[in-house]
Structure 1
Amino acid sequence: MATIPNTLQLTFFSSRPTNSSSTGSTEYFSRLNSKFLGNPTTKTLGWCRPTTRLGPSSGSRTTCWFRFGKNGVDAEGAGIYGSQTRDDFDRDDVEQYFNYMGMLAVEGTYDKMEALLNQNIHPVDILLMMAASEADKPKIEELLRAGADYTVKDSEGRSALEKAASDEIKDFILGFSIQKA
């Protein structure tokens, strides 16, 4: 997975009037120093710069900067992507993916999804079958990293490999599994 360095700037406005002194403003904005933002002096994740200028909001504002990517925090490093396990996926994830990929529109009902869920197949394995049939490589990679098993079969006796939309997807699944081992 490639990481792309990004910087995000957020500006917060407050309707609370500020003093003309910077001490009052700094005191007010010191509450913004949270673990999420990190320590403003070390700039570990992000930082806030309170400003005392009065703007269109007729109040005070602060500008927060967050760094993502190589020198900041990427999704994997933040524990968002790539750190899930089998047990982090549930029935709701299956339904959301079913809807997101437009499978409900194609199928017309939830019957196919419910049939898979009622077979005592773990949700992460069901998601892998769906992602393979939709040729969704990023989702396949995420699920295999989480421990999905591509050999699990549905009621028709078909595994994720057999449901794969193309030979390229089959090779991707097998290649990723070999690479992981």
Structure 2
Amino acid sequence: MATIPCTVQLIIASSDTKTMNNWTPALRKLDSQFLGMRKGLGFCRPTSKIGPSSCGSRTTCWFKFGKNGVDAEGAGIYGSQSRDDFDRDDVEQYFNYMGMLAVEGTYDKMEALLSQNIHPVDILLMMAASEGDKPKIEELLKAGAKYDVKDAGGKTALDKAVNDEIKNFILNYSTQKA
């Protein structure tokens, strides 16, 4: 479920209290599916009062994505990629995201992997296994990454796995998929 911070601002200017009281039914209409106060898109938790005496409200909104708000995979956000949806840019982004550039100091290690005849999704699996990144490993295996692909040194994602827990996770996932 994604959290999207949003601001609802309502400005009503009137010196007449009767006019202000007439706004009450209109304010009830703020209880809409867009703001998520009812079932549907999600829900909001106001952190201050919405009404004639306020000049706005800070709210936190949770929106459910996917088919009927079920899951991110159904919405095409996570896990719905196929093997060919991954490319060189994904490898570079993951390299940076995991802090590998900071550790390595250059892109040499990444470029060495990319210069081999290895599909980017398999390179990503090797990198994720070496980092112990279970969510990424699962995403990549769902996309069709192969854990038995060897790099120039003859190492697979299993060989590069940070520990036995990650190795078993990869093997068990692959066994369940078959």
Assess same fold via TM > 0.5. Answer: yes
Instruction: Say if 1:132 and 1:169, in contact at 8 Å, map to a contact too.
Output: yes
1:1-181 alignment to 2 at 5 Å? 12-14=7-9, 16-17=11-12, 20=20, 21-22=23-24, 43-47=39-43, 51-55=50-54, 58=55, 60-61=56-57, 65-66=61-62, 73-181=70-178
Instruction: Say if 2:33 and 2:40, in contact at 8 Å, map to a contact too.
Output: no
RMSD (Å), alpha carbons: 3.7
Larger Rg: 2
Structure 1 position 84, deviation (Å): 2.3
- Residues 73-114 of structure 1 show CA distances to partners (whole Å, capped at 9, x for unaligned) of 343344323222223322222112212222222222101101
SS at match of 1:94: helix
1-structure distance, mates of 2:150, 2:169 = 18
SS at match of 2:62: strand
Question: With structure 2 as the length reference, what TM-score do the two structures score?
Answer: 0.70
Which stretch has the larger CA shift, 125-134 or 73-82? 73-82
Structure 1 position 177, deviation (Å): 0.2
Change (3 A) 1:78 1:102: same
2-structure distance, mates of 1:101, 1:65 = 29
1-structure distance, mates of 2:11, 2:64 = 31
SS at match of 1:66: strand
Q: Would you identify which runs of 4 or more consecutive aligned residues in structure 1 move more than 6 Å?
A: 6-9
SS at match of 1:152: coil
Instruction: Say if 1:67 and 1:73, in contact at 8 Å, map to a contact too.
Output: no
**How many aligned positions are there?**
166
